Amino acid sequence: MPDLLPLAHALHDLGMLLYAGPFVAFTVLVSLSGRLPKLARHDVVRVYRAWGAGLGLSMGAWVLGLLSTHFLTQGAFAWPVDTAAQQLTAARFVVFLVLWAFNIRLEIWTLEPLRKLDGDGEIPAAPFAAATRRLGGEMAIQSGLLLAYVVLHAAAP
Burial class (CB in 10 A: 0-12, 13-18, 19+), 61: buried
Nearest to 66 by CA among 54, 53, 79, 82: 79
pLDDT at 114 exceeding the cut of 80: yes
The CA–CA distances, whole Å, from 128 to 114, 118, 124, 135 equal 7, 8, 6, 10
Residue 2 has pLDDT above 80, yes or no: no
**What is the Cα–Cα distance from 32 to 29, expressed in whole angstroms?**
5
Is 89:156 a contact under the CB 8 Å cutoff? yes
Contact 61, 14 (CB under 8 A): yes
3-class SS of residue 140: helix
pTM for the model: 0.88
Mean model confidence pLDDT for the chain: 90
- The CA distance from 15 to 106, in Å, is 19
| 1 pLDDT more than 60 | no
Do 134 and 112 form a contact (C-beta atoms < 8 A)? no
Average pLDDT of span 118-138: 82
pLDDT bin (cut points 50, 70, 90) of residue 53 is: very high
